[in-house]
Every structure is written in C-alpha cells, then in structure tokens.
Amino acid sequence: MNDLKDINIEKSLELLKTKKISSKELVEFYLTEAESKKNLNAYISLNLDNAINLAKESDKRISSNKMRALEGIPIAVKDLFCTQNFLTTAASGMLQNFIPTYESTVTQKLWDAGAILIGKTNLDEFAMGSSNETSFFGSVINPLSINNKKYVPGGSSGGSAAAVAANIALAATGTDTGGSIRQPASYCGIVGLKPTYGRCSRWGIIAFASSLDQAGPMTKTVKDAAILLDIMAGYDNKDSTSANLDDINFSKSFDKIKKLKVGIPKQYKSDKLSPEIVKLWEDGIDYFKKKNCTVIDIDLPHTDYALATYYIISSAEASSNLARYDGVRYGKRQSSNDITTLYEQTRSQGFGNEVKRRIMIGTYVLSAGYYDAYYLKAQKVRSKIIDDFNQAFEKVDVIFTPTAPSDAFEQGTKIDDPIQMYLNDVFTVPASLAGLPAISVPIGLSQNGLPLGFQIIGKRFDENSVLAAGKIIEDCANFGEKK
Amino acid sequence: MEIDKTLVKKIASLSKINVKEEEVKKFSNELSKIITWIDKLNEVKTDNVTPVTNPSDIKIPIRDDKVNDGKIKEKILKNAPETKGGYFIVPKVVE
Amino acid sequence: MDKNDNNWEPVIGLEIHAQIISNSKLFSGASTNFGSEPNTQVSLVDAAMPGMLPVINKVCVEQAIKTGLSLNAQINKRSVFDRKNYFYPDLPQGYQISQYTQPIVGKGSIEIDLKNGNSKKIGITRLHLEQDAGKSIHDLDPNKTYIDLNRSGVALMEIVSEPDIRSAEEAQEYVKKLRSILRYIQTCDGNMEEGSLRCDVNISVKKKNEDFGTRCEIKNVNSIKSIGQAIEHEFHRQVEIIESGDKVQQETRLFDEKKGETRPMRTKEEAHDYRYFPDPDLPPLEISTNLIGEIKKNLPELPDVKKKKLIDGYGLSSYESSILISDKNNVDFFEAVINENNQRKPKVVVNWIIGDLFSLLKKNNLDIKKSPVKPSDLGELIDLIENSTISGKLAKTVFDEMFYNRKKPKKIIKQKGLIQITDSGEIENVITKVLSQNVDKVNEYKSGKEKLYGYFIGQIMQETKGKANPKLVNEILKKKLAK
C-alpha cells in the first residue's frame, strides 16, 4: 500500500503513469480522509456520487495510454467556483440551495485535463474575510492548531488551505482578492499562488470584487502550483478582462530562471513586526543570496495606504456585484406581499454580518456626495500604488516580503473587531491592487509552532520568476522537515 | 467621520438590507470606525492623477453580432423560487 | 400654445431611448427578436446568474457611431461603461450597464421643419449606449407581477437633446425627424407602439429673457400625439402654479393617455442615488479613426439631403418625397425603377409605389423589402402603359396579378389577352355599333344631356372588355357625337 498521505500532484502523476497506483485508489483515499477529518469543517460538500466513477474512467484512459495532463488527479474546489449540477454556495445562506447549470471556465479546464472533483471547500462568505469564520456552514479549523485550541486557517480560502495542509486534498483551487489565497496558505503552511490579474478567467466564479478577483492554485509544492497554473490559465472570450496571451508552459520553464534581483521594500518593515518574522525574513534573504540572487532595498512609498484603498474599492465593487442576490431568479427567498420587503428580508437573512458591513460601506463610498472623497480618491491612490511597483520593477525582478504580519490566531479573537481583521491583509493587498502575480511559500514556524509563509511578488505576467523565487525558498527552508 | 443612525438607515435602504433597531447602533459604530480609518487616504496628494478602474491595460474585446445564446428557458428558470407559465413571479409591484 | 400666454414659454428637452437594430444583445449573444415566448431569449448573462460577465457587441457599437455621425455629432474615441445601481425585479443585475461621464457620442444637432415654413436647429447633448431592462407584467394576476427577461440586455441608444425646444410642435417635429433618420440609416426601427422608440419629456416654463425654471420629467409618452398633449397640459399646469404664487416642484410625472394629463408618480420617488461608477468588468471602449472613417464612408445620404434631391432632381412633390424617405427601402425601390430606364417618368413611378404598391403591401402586412413585385417588374408594367400596350385602368388588374401570383406583366397580359386596342378602325367600328344601338340616348345627348357621355364610354369599354385605348376612344367618340 502506497503512503498517499504526503503525496503531491507531480508524484501522483508519476505513480499513475507507471501504474503504481490507480486513480480510484487516490480518490478513495482522499474521500475517506475527508470524511475522517470532518471536524475541520474544511469541506462544504463532497463528490461522493461521482468521483469514483470518474476515477475509474481515468484509469481506463491511463491504461490505454490516453493520459491527459491531470488525468485521475483529485482536486478540491473552493465553493466560489460554479460547478455544473453540483451545489455551489459561496458559503452563504443566500445560495445554500443553488445548483448552477453551468461550469466555471477554470474548473472546466481542470476537468478537460482529466482532473476529478473531490468536493467543494469552505470559505468566508462570498470570499469576504481572512479567517474563515464568517461561513454559513461554520468555521474551519486550522489542521496545524496546537495545544488543543482552535486556530483559524486564514481566509477567505480557508477550507482549501486546511484541506491541503491536512492531507485531505491533494491540491485545491482558491481565489484571491486581497490575499485570500496567500494568507491562508501562510497560516496553514502550504503554497498559494495568485496569478496576474487577467491570467485566469473569472467567468463562472461568483464575483466579489471584479477588478481584484483572481483564481489560483493552492498546493503542497511550488512545482504543483506551476502544474495547476498551466491548466487553469488561459484566455477566455467570455471574460472581457481576460488577457489574450500566448500559452506558457510554466511547469517546464520556471526553473530555468536564475540570478534573480530581489527587492526588499522598506515600507513593509516596521518596529511592530514581530522578531520571529524579522528573523525569518533575514533567513529568506540569505537563501536568495546563497542561490546567486542579488538582494536590493527598494521603495514602495504608498504601502501604508494600500489597505484603506483596497477596502474602499473592494467594498464598492462588492456592493454592486451582490445586488443580483434579490431572491427573484435564484437564492433563498423570504416571501412577502411586497417587493421591497421581499428584497430586504431575503438579503438581511441571506447575508451574514461581514457581507452586510461591506455592502453598506460600498454603498456609502459610492453614494452622492461621498464618491469623490472615497471611491474616486481610492482609484487615484491605486494608480500611485501601481506606479510604485512599476518603478521598483525597473530595479528588481521580484519583491520579497512576509505574507502576513503574524501567524494564525485563535478563532473568535478578532471577529468582533473588523479593523483588526482587515490588518491581516496589510502585506497582500498591494499586489492585488496592482494586479501582480504573487506567491506565498512556507518558510518556517512561529514561536507558537504555527506556520509562517513569505511572499514573492513579480511583474505582470511574470509568474515564472515568482515560481522560481518560490522554489528557492522552498528548497532552502525545507519546511517539510520543520513541520 | 461619523455614520449616525439616520445615515445607517439610509444606506441600508439603498442596499435593500433591513437593519433591525437593535443592530443600528452596532452598525453605526462599526461603520464609523471603518470610515474614519479610511479617511487617512486624504494624506495622499492626488492632483492630476488619473484614476484606475482596472489594473490591466487590456483593450475591450469586441464580439461578432451572432445569436449564439439564449433558448435555455429551463436552465434560466431552474433555480427560481417562484415561476409560472415561463415567467419569474414576484409580489405585485406598484408603479 | 397660445401666443397670448402672458409671455410664458416652455423650455423642453427630450430624452429618447432607441432600441438598436442588431441580431444579438449589447453584452450577450441572445437574440433580440420581438414577441417570443417568455424567457426564451435569455442567456445566463442576461439573467445575471452568479459569475456571469458582459462582452460587447461590435454591431451595437457601429450602430451608435453611425447614428452619431448622422446627427452631426462628435464621436468620442474613448468612452467608458458605468454601472447605474438600483433595484427593480426586471433589472436582474441590480444595476444597468450604461455610460455616465464619458459617452460614446458627444454634441450634435438636427434641423427640424416647422409649419410656418421656418427651420430650426435643435442641439443634441449626447448619445450613449446602455442595456434595456426586462418586462414587468402587472395585469396577469391581481397580487403578482410576472417578469420576462427577453428584453433584458437589448442595446439602447439614449439620445439627449439640448433644452432648445420651445413648443409642442417643435417637440413633435424633433421626434419625427429623429425617428426618420434612425429608420433611414437602419439603426432603429422607430416603432413607438412596440416600444423600440421611447420618449421622456423634460419641461419647465419661463418668461422670455428669464432664467430656466424648475423642470419636471414626464414619462410614459408613447406617441407623437401624446408628446403634444403632455406638453400642452404640463405647460399650462406649471404656468398656473407659478401665477398663483406657488413654486413648481421638481418631480417625475406620468402621462395619462386617457385623460390627456400628467400626474405625479404613485410611488413616492426616493431620491434616486444611482451610485454610478465605472464598470470594472469592461475596459474602456476605444474606437479607431479608421473605424469611424469606414462607417462614414458607407453612410447613406441622409433623409433631408435625399428629399431635396428627389424634389429637385425628379420633380417630386414635398409630400411624395416625404413618404419615400420615411424608409430607405422605399427610396431604393424608387431609384431602382428610375435607374433601370431613365425614360420612365418619376411622377408616374412614385404614384404607383405610394399608391397601388403600398396599398397591397399594407393589406398583406408586408415590408417593401419583401414585396413580391420587384422594381424591374413594376418598371416593365409602367413601360407597357407608356407605349400603350395596355391601358392604365387594366394595368391595375395586371398589377394585382403580379402581386398575388408573382407573374411578370408581359406574361399576364398575354395570358389574359389584355393588350390594348389601338387600331382606330377597330375602335371606330365599336363606337359606331354602340351609338347605333343607343340612338335615343344619342339624341338626348345632342339636346344637352351631357352626362350620357360617360354612359357611352361605359358601353364602349364593355364591348372591348376594357381594352380600348381611352385616348383614341375619346377622340373618335367626340368626333362622332359632334356630327
């Protein structure tokens, strides 16, 4: 019996190809493991009806040498991607019964490559949150929690991160709007990649903030992230913000990148940063130097304003994107004799508090009299933040920073203080605002014994450099041993 | 910047969200804190800066005028809470 | 409007919504056909399902440019789509994609002709693209409203006039002129009954040399006649208010066709805060100089120019020309007949078209484009009349046959033996016969009963089965009766 526990995609493909394991074994293993670790609440639903049949079909294809790029590989999907005929909830009461009649572009690409849906993972409601404590289906527990306490896995892709870290998923898809792939990857000790804005199609992904949302892989290794990105990426003519570029084979090309120039932004350093993060940062810098990279100090002057800019823009877009949830064509309706009451009751009962808060902030910053001071101002500051990065990237190829200001925290300790919660995203939002690719790679453990990840940001469409730098950290940090 | 109760109710009404009386104060506090925190953007000089809506410089893609969609009535109505005769049904709307 | 209205004058601006002629919708590939079963012309995008995204239709953009050029307006090479946010059950997204600060077309103008013979230039402020909403049907059930989204997402052009209009007549002429241009260049079919052309009237009153007063918006003005009535009523209502010492309230009013008056909308209009912001799902629309040039090159001559040419070049009356230019297809038909054989008399051709052809087309609910009688067929018939092969009267029967049985004129005439009798000898024989059979009546005629002339004609025509050449008959009959 193969030890499937710590296996990854790359290894699985090898074993499948050489027929040392079958897809059926893999799928059964993950379904069983998922059931056994239900307490983590990482999954909202499991594909119990279909996954094994699909696995058998994959095995047939493998035996007749018709193996596609991800043939037989089980993948967990964040429950924000619409999956055809399969419950898709966005972790919201509003969509608790919603069954899409269509498949998102990104997940269709995975199935076309032979991958198999294991289940839909839990998340913060409508992707708004950084702790996975706002889900209609209950909070997710970080599998690396210590001392019998319940720590958060981060968010919003908390379920995906927890599933991969707990080995109840081989890999998962997530979405990242302000850090929702990277920050949970950091808290759970896995790899999480947010591609360049426009790299992956947004069609069929339930929208939170249209100018920020991006789908990306959450995996055990950097190589796995590249393998998944190869399949997930690509132009989609149904998405007007999709980039029409030549296909790149990331998994084959990223490790050819050498001698990177790595920038360290001084505005990310602060005396509030914990000594353990400062130490790990220095370790990372040493790793780069060891691998023939140059490390340079750079300036990102408007860093301090990124978080406020992000909250204005993302809330504004969300308030408009969530207006369609009115109980008329789908969603959990609260009936009434009056249309206004129907709207208000449906939305008040269907949305949780964080979602309501953000919709109201969004409505406020767009409203007459406040638009210029908030929304328009934020768009201008966003422009300056983009300029900061453009200037920095004239000097360096990648930028290296902590992913989050701390390790995972206990459930319930920040949920009542929205601003404290928002501060979790301070290092991740700038790259989101600028639409840049960024990865989080685990680098070590905190004093508490919880994972810490570090972030590498790259130039637009230069995922290769980001992956290459990530690999350096991965190789040198040897996080697997530390766990 | 304070978001008083009247403003909370106005915003809630625009967003079609019902805020119960006992929740108004809580929302007022939370929103006021958040808005005050966002106010710090005023520190940034932005005269003559072009606002950015989308970080990419992708040109708008244009589609040919072909009918290649629609005629999927069952799918469109499938998740609806109330339908009749092929229509979506809502309570009578007074114009 | 009375000239003695105490020097009061109305100040009127019109907002026209014109449905664009295109196969598919503005941002989705569903059909724009009118009158289909409910919700059959609805794509997932039109129904605003979770995760859906807009993609713009090339032809809709071109139609807007075409219209802008025909209104002598500036085409903006860069324009932006904005979201207009509000809740209504037939607005699935909870927002309408429209254009707010940067529309596709800027300032322009059109000339209108007034009854007193003067022309007046009416300015156009702008034209922008936006989505139409679905249909709410309130009268199928006392307690429910039925929603059909077939129309949701159809492309509209909103055309806003400057407040240059100063009377009901000017307003009506403006709408008529605008409609004729749109129909002529085939960007909108201008059908007010079917709702493909809708009009909102903005009206305030002032005395000459005073500043503009408070204006009211009047909706639900569905015909040229209603425009006149609504303006007359509203003008007097506002003047009365001011003259009695009160102030006009700014409000939106509905026009009640039955009563011929305006009344305030029943629902208290919440100050609509539409929270416009640029749609993050759509990059700005950039139009090249080349595209504008191409469209300009292929623009047909505008109706006014064409009308003048028809009058000056072909000697048609203003009335005849107006009818032709109401539809470019009429002009094309006319010109095809004339250009095939320039001996054909324009007056004769136009009379056949607007008389017999239009009458049969209308009876059979056909467009001139689908006319079973082609230009060359009509031309042939006209030639046959001209060279006396057939009489004008019998030609009408031939025409009917051509229309209903799609046969060529020469064939019909041959088959039915309708060739005109032009041999004077033959005609004289018939006349002699008729007169000799009616000696009494001949005598009565000679003693003054001139009415009997028609009786003799009737008899002669009966004898010849209508084929005798009328001119010759008259000549010879007169001669004989004079004896």
- Is B73 within 8 Å of chain A by CB? no
Q: Which residues pair with C129 in a beta bridge?
A: C157
pLDDT of C143 above 90: yes
Pairwise CA distance, residues B27 & A363, whole Å? 14
Do the chains contact at C283 and A240, CB–CB below 8 Å?
Answer: yes
Q: Are A36 and A78 in contact (CB under 8 A)?
A: no
B53 touches chain A (CB under 8 A): yes
pLDDT in tens, C237-248: 999 999 999 999
Its pTM stands at 0.90
Amino acid at C212: F
* CATH for C424-482 (1.10.10.60, 3.40.50.720, 1.10.260.40, 1.10.10.410): 1.10.10.410
pLDDT 10s digits, C278-304: 999 999 999 999 999 999 999 988 888
Percent of chain B whose pLDDT exceeds 90:
63
The token pair that represents A481 in the structure block: 């041993």
Tokens 């990372």: give the residue: A284
d(CA C76, CA C290): 13
Mean pLDDT of chain C: 92
Q: What is the mean pLDDT of residues C165-181?
A: 95
3-class SS at A86?
Answer: strand
Which of A424, A418, A428, A431 has the alpha carbon at shortest distance from A458? A431
Helix (H, G, I), strand (E, B) or coil at C431: helix
Does C61 contact chain B (CB < 8 Å)?
Answer: yes
Q: Report the pLDDT value the prediction gives residue B95, as an integer from 0 to 100.
A: 63
d(CA C220, CA A411): 56
> Is A152 an interface residue toward C (CB < 8 Å)?
no
The pLDDT of residue C5 is 62
Whether the per-residue pLDDT at C270 is higher than 60: the answer is no
| Phi, then psi, of B84 in degrees rounded to 5 | -155, 130
Q: Which residue is associated with the tokens 């007459």?
A: A368
CA distance C381 to C402: 10
C88 closest CA partner among C266, C272, C342, C260: C272
C-alpha span between C483 and C442 (Å, rounded): 11
Q: Residues C312-322: pLDDT tens digits? A: 999 999 889 98
Per-residue model confidence as pLDDT tens digits over A210-255? 999 999 999 999 999 999 999 999 999 999 999 999 989 999 999 9
Closest CA to C220 of C187, C257, C264, C194: C257
Token pair, residue C475, equals 């000549």
Q: Measured between alpha carbons, how far is A129 from A184 in angstroms, rounded to an integer?
A: 11
3-state secondary structure of A390: helix
Give the count of alpha carbons within 13 A of C456, CB side only. Answer: 32
The two structure tokens encoding residue C314: 């072909």
Nearest 5°: the CA angle A469, A473, A475 is 110
Tell me what the mean pLDDT of segment C79-98 comes to: 97
Closest by CA to C169, choosing from C117, C109, C206, is C117
Tell me the count of A-B CB pairs closer than 8 A: 167
Please list, in sequence order, all residues whose beta carbon lies within 8 angstroms of the beta carbon of residue C119, skipping any fewer than 6 positions away. Answer: C111, C112, C113
A2-258+404-481: CATH topology:
Amidase signature (AS) enzymes (3.90.1300)
pLDDT reading at C166 higher than 80? yes
Residue A233 DSSP class: B
- Using CA coordinates, name the residue in chain B closest to C136: B93
Secondary structure letter of residue C353 according to DSSP: I
Rounded to 5 degrees, φ, ψ at A93 are -60, -30
How far apart are the C-alpha atoms of A27 and A49, rounded to whole Å?
A: 12
The ipTM is 0.96
* Residue among C405, C411, C334, C435 at smallest CA distance from C376: C334
Q: Is the confidence at residue C277, as pLDDT, over 50?
A: yes
Hey, which residues of A are catalytic here? 78, 156, 180
- The H or E element spanning position C378 is helix C375-386
pLDDT band at C203 (very low <50, low <70, confident <90, very high): very high
Interatomic CA distance for residues B46 and B42, integer angstroms:
9
> End-to-end alpha-carbon separation of chain B, Å?
37
Pairwise CB contact (< 8 Å): B63 & C29 = yes
Task: Output the DSSP codes for C220-275.
Answer: EE-SHHHHHHHHHHHHHHHHHHHHTT--PPP-EEEEETTTTEEEE-SS--------
Is residue C468's pLDDT more than 80? yes
pLDDT at A1 (0 to 100):
47
CA-to-CA distance for A447 and A379, rounded, in angstroms?
39
Instruction: Specify the pLDDT at position C483.
Output: 74
* Boundaries of every domain in chain A: 2-258+404-481, 305-360
Query: For C93, which of A237, A324, A368 is closest by C-beta distance?
Result: A324
List chain C residues with CB under 8 Å of A328.
Answer: 89, 92, 147
Interface probe for A, chosen from C49, C86, C91, C152 (most Cβ of A below 10 Å), is C49
Angle between helices C392-405 and C409-416 (to 10 degrees): 110
Could you tell me which chain A residue has the CA closest to the CA of B32? A361
Q: Check the CA dihedral A16-A20-A26-A27 and report its sign.
A: positive
A chain contacts of residue C93, beta-carbon cutoff 8 Å: 323-324
- What residues in chain A have per-residue pLDDT under 70? 1-2, 483
Question: Is some CB atom of chain A closer than 8 A to the CB atom of C54?
Answer: yes
Residue burial A381-392, b: 16+ Cβ < 10 Å; e: rest: bbbbbbebbeeb
Check A82 against C50: CB less than 8 A apart: yes
Residue C90 has pLDDT above 60, yes or no: yes
Q: Phi first, then psi: give them for residue C207, nearest 5 degrees.
A: -90, 160
At A136, the amino acid letter reads F
Asked if A376 is an interface residue toward chain B (Cβ–Cβ < 8 A), one would say yes
Residue pair C380/C409 in contact (Cβ under 8 Å)? The answer is yes
Q: What residues of chain B, 9 to 28, have a C-beta less than 8 Å from chain C? A: 13-14, 16
- pLDDT of the residue at C398: 93
Other C-beta atoms within 10 Å of C344: how many? Answer: 18
Whether chain C has a CB inside 8 Å of the CB on B80: the answer is: no
Choice between C138 and C322, residue whose per-residue pLDDT is larger:
C138
CA-closest candidate to residue C378, choices C400, A97, A16: C400
Burial C423-450 (b: 16+ CB within 10 A, else e): eeeebbebbeebbeebeebbeebeeeee
Query: For chain A, which chains pass the contact test of at least 3 CB pairs under 8 Å?
Result: B, C
Structural contact between residues C123 and C107, judged by C-beta atoms closer than 8 angstroms? yes
